[in-house]
Chains A and B, each alone.
Chain A
């Protein structure tokens, strides 16, 4: 089975991130690049499937990003993925959800897949729009928010997906796109052997033309533009009350809620 994991390369989630006031885009230079934390769970889920299904199963990592960032994919290869592909083209800069998902779909059709695993959302801003749009462009079912893949094989998948109030059991045919939640399990650490081995694994680079992209791309075709950025309203510093005992702590909260007419 061929599994492709889509990962987004994002500015280090632990670094201070800012938006360039002139271009109104996220500053990505001078900041370390990392795998979107949610995508590490998708990689983990893919590697679990590989263990379950045996050596005929391969895991390919896919990203759409500037070529200069491709080395950031080594971590995924060190965790145990087999190879990686980057879709990279200056024409893709400034893409919004609609352009990104279209371009990704073109590349994924070329790469081929039985299952695509994606993170449920990105740490840097599109908040989960890409996977649904990607499934549409590929014309495959999208199983979102999966916490457990119960069965997979013979062209079918059965999975538990989280809902707002619990979960659903869903079954259907492959190929399909699956987004996973953190409940699939903590991403594994790369072993030393994995890190060494990753250096020899291939990272292919595809251009827009390579994947047959035939329409204008990037910010020119984006459907939205950022017109303003601002800092959030800051809250006043918290009132801090050291409670001598339960009763006085409770009274302090009660009085505060009274003051704000909340009780």
Chain B
């Protein structure tokens, strides 16, 4: 059962959703984002980073695998996209576990291939496309 299920019909609702996601996640700092291509994972993460006071441009890490941002308070935020990875070994090769254990924010798109490495408190955010709306299911894991 999801902890919360939120309907989003417009991009303008994303700043509010970003706040709710972070409120639900606390004190966990590891968040997994699931959903089809084009469902809006990166766009939601842009809003979350904005809420976390990141001033830099938040772009897709599909190619780079992980982007690193820093917010006004000096906190580090790792933004992952594991879409290109083909095995768990490849996730280990990029030092995925070290990032998870760093205590910094980890916002992870396409986490499925390495999900078994994530065993601490975390939040799963699942985005479903229904018509032109999004149903966002959020569940706490511990």
A-B interaction: no
